[in-house]
Each structure stands twice: as structure tokens, then as C-alpha cells.
Amino acid sequence: MGIDSGKQGTGMNSTRNRQTRGATVGRLETGRFWRTSWLVFLGPLFLLGCCLPRGASAQPTVDTVAERMLLYQRANGGWPQPGGNRIDYDKPLSEAARKALTAERDQLDTTIDDGATTREINYLVSAYAKTGNTAYLQAAERGIAFLLSAQNRAGGWPQFYPDSSKYRGQITYNDGAMIDVLWVMHRTATGQHGFDRVSPRFVPQAKAAIDRGISCILNTQYRQGNKLTVWCAQHDRRTLLPTKARAFELPSLSGSESVGIVQFLMQQDNPSPDVKTAIRSAVAWFEQVKLVGIAVKTVSDPNQPSGRDQVVVPDSGSTLWARFYDLDTNRPFFTGRDSVKKYKLADIENERRVGYGWYGTWPARLLAKDYPNWVKKWGN
């Protein structure tokens, strides 16, 4: 018996259709499976990413400089200055050095000298903003807590804390130490320069520290009779009077450190009458003691122990200020390691002559630009 060709075609088509539908359903089920699988695996990661700090990633990025700062940080929250030198954080650490730093963690050699502690806090806050690594922010906050604890009764900061031996416990403006701390407090209080990421619990403490710091600044500004002048590089923590630090750093009026103090005062909003008076008096003193018509040159001199020398020469186009001025006469002076006051740079030993900054242009920008702008904003 023959087969009906029409029925045969219809049957074959039906079979193909069923196979096609089956394959399509299979592909849909497979796709649904993989979509579900991706959600299962990637969903939690997506949610984690949404909850991370700004700039963070699921695996915090490592900043090698910040990592070394963590190793150097002492248990009290501050940083040391080993051997009296700034730490070179670009230098890789050996495993032995890492173990040594861990063993030294409880040492009480923490300082604000030459930017120590404030430098690390500023960097770690920035590193956290870039990496999202919470270890950096936590270390910075421990540093801020250390600075708050180091402020003394007068509102000033010592060069070292808690070590108060010799001159280390005195109020220290030298090399901008206390002003560096006040800038950290200012950023903490205002949230500037990435400090908005710092815990808000530090804000009222930082504001109070600034108020006390400014009070210390006003109380340590030196008076010649009834006339306010500027500041010494360090002041006695009890009497608040200018005091000695190293052998060649006698009580004096500073043509260098006083500039940073005035610049900080000028950044205060709605300055009080006392702050305005302090600023105007310091600016007037800078104008009074400027040294017009001299310059300092470094020259080669094989007859000197160092092979070079610093000499003062006439220069009609130059204006300088001395690092140290006599407290009562405003006369520039220089001191060697014998602590004897001299009035010519050439009269102290070569090692100190070439190894210290005795002259500079520190107040120049303050007088030419910063102070006039401040007067425009707040009045004379």
C-alpha cells in the first residue's frame, strides 16, 4: 500500500516543530539558569560596592608610603623622628626593619618636630580618600587624638610628648611645629582637604583646641614695653616667656617662625579685636626690622672646614630678615655652639655659619600680598 505524500509531509513538519520548540525552551532555561547564577554570585559583590566609602573598592588598594607610616606609628598615636631626621617613607623596609619597628611600638619618642605626626596625618587622610583603606583613616584619627592629648594647659604644643626633658616640653613654634598642629586641627574642624572623612566626634575637640591655641599665641606675643612685637621660636610652658632651645637657639624674636603664626591668625573668620591687634603689630615689626641692601651668598672656600662659606655682601636690590633678633633692641644676632651672642655672621664658627638659616625672605609674601588681602577683607 502506498503512503500519502501530504500526510507524510505534515507529520515530518510536526516533528520538526516539536524539536524546535524543545530546543528553544532548552535555550531559554539555560539562559535563565546562567542569569540566576550571575545574580547569585555577583549580587552580594554589587551590594558590598554600594556600601563602601567613596573611592573604595572591595579589595582596599595598598599605598606603600601609607603602609610604612603605619609601621612607624607609635602605640600612643604619634610618630617619632629617629636620630633627629625626617623619616624617608620612600625607602623600602627590610623584614628585620619591620620587626624592629613592631618591637619599638611602645616607645615614647613621639614628636611634632620638622612636621613629624602632622605630616603623617595629612598623608594618611589623603591616602584613605584615594584607596578606601580604612586602616589609613584609623591611623590618622589615632594621630589626631594624640595631638589633642599633647596640648598643654597654656594651649600650646611641646616639641615632644610625653617626653618633656630639656627644651622638649616647651611651647614650640620652631620650624612651624605648633602651627602645623593647628592646621591639622583647622582641617579637622572644617572638613577641608579630605578631613570630612574623619569621625565627627573630633570636630568639637578640634574647635576647642584651636581656641586654646590662639589664646596661647596671643599670650606669648612678646612686648617691648607696651609695644607688641612677634614671637620667639620657643616659649616657656609656664611663664610663656621666650626661652632657649639648642645651644645656638637663644631667646630672641624670630623673623622666620613668626610669619607662619601670623598667616594662621589671618585665616580665622571674624577675627577678634585681639587677633587683629596681634596681626597688625607683627606686620609693623616686620616692616621695622627688615634689612635693606644686603644679600647672603654661598661661596667655595677650601680654607674652611666645610670647603664653603656663607658671606654677607652688599646688594641694593635685596631685602632680607634675620632669623634671630635681640628681644629688646631688635638687633640681629648669631650664635655658635658656644651659646655666645655675636652680631656678625662671620664671627661664629664655619660649621654653624653654613649649617643654619640665618637670613631669609620669610615675611616678603606676607607683607606684599597676604596682609593687604587680609586688610581688604577684615579692615585695618
Full pLDDT tens readout for the chain, 380 residues: 333 334 334 444 444 444 444 544 444 444 554 444 444 444 444 444 444 454 444 567 899 999 999 999 999 999 999 989 999 999 999 999 999 999 999 999 999 999 999 999 999 999 999 999 999 999 999 999 999 999 999 999 999 999 999 999 999 999 999 999 999 999 999 999 999 999 999 999 999 999 999 999 999 999 999 999 999 999 999 999 999 999 999 999 999 999 999 999 999 999 999 999 999 999 999 999 999 999 999 999 999 999 999 999 999 999 999 999 999 999 999 999 999 999 999 999 999 999 999 999 999 999 999 999 999 999 87
Query: The sheet that has 291-300: what strands, in order across it?
Result: 291-300, 308-322, 359-360
Check if the beta carbon of residue 309 is closer than 8 Å to that of residue 354. Answer: yes
In a domain, 149, yes or no: yes
In a domain, 72, yes or no: yes
Name which of 166, 161, 162, 121 is nearest 141 in CA terms. 121
pLDDT value at residue 208: 98
| CATH number of the domain bearing residue 158 | 1.50.10.20
Check if the beta carbon of residue 310 is closer than 8 Å to that of residue 297. Answer: yes
- CA–CA distances in Å: residue 159 to residues 105, 150, 169, 179: 19, 10, 6, 12
Check if the beta carbon of residue 259 is closer than 8 Å to that of residue 270. Answer: no
pLDDT value at residue 17: 45
pTM, to two decimals: 0.84
pLDDT value at residue 25: 44
Q: What are 53's three cell numbers?
A: 566609602
- CA–CA distances in Å: residue 342 to residues 147, 231, 331, 335, 339: 37, 20, 10, 6, 9
In a domain, 166, yes or no: yes
- At 87, the amino acid letter reads I
Largest CA distance in the chain: 137
Total tally of structural domains belonging to the chain: 1
In a domain, 23, yes or no: no
Q: What are 247's three cell numbers?
A: 645651644
Query: Residue 348 in 3-state DSSP?
Result: coil
Q: Phi and psi for 78 in degrees, rounded to 5? A: -95, 180
In a domain, 181, yes or no: yes
Query: Residue 268 in 3-state DSSP?
Result: coil
pLDDT value at residue 239: 98
Residues with Cβ within 8 Å of 306's Cβ and at least 6 positions away in sequence, in order, are 350, 351, 354, 355
> 172 forms bridges with which residues in the sheet?
234
In a domain, 87, yes or no: yes
Instruction: Give the domain extent around 132.
Output: 53-220
In a domain, 355, yes or no: no
Q: How far is CA 354 from the centre of its chain?
A: 28
In a domain, 242, yes or no: no
pLDDT value at residue 219: 98
- The count of residues in the chain is 380
User: How far apart, in whole angstroms, are the C-alpha atoms of residue 64 and residue 66?
Assistant: 5
User: How far apart, in whole angstroms, are the C-alpha atoms of residue 211 and residue 192?
Assistant: 18
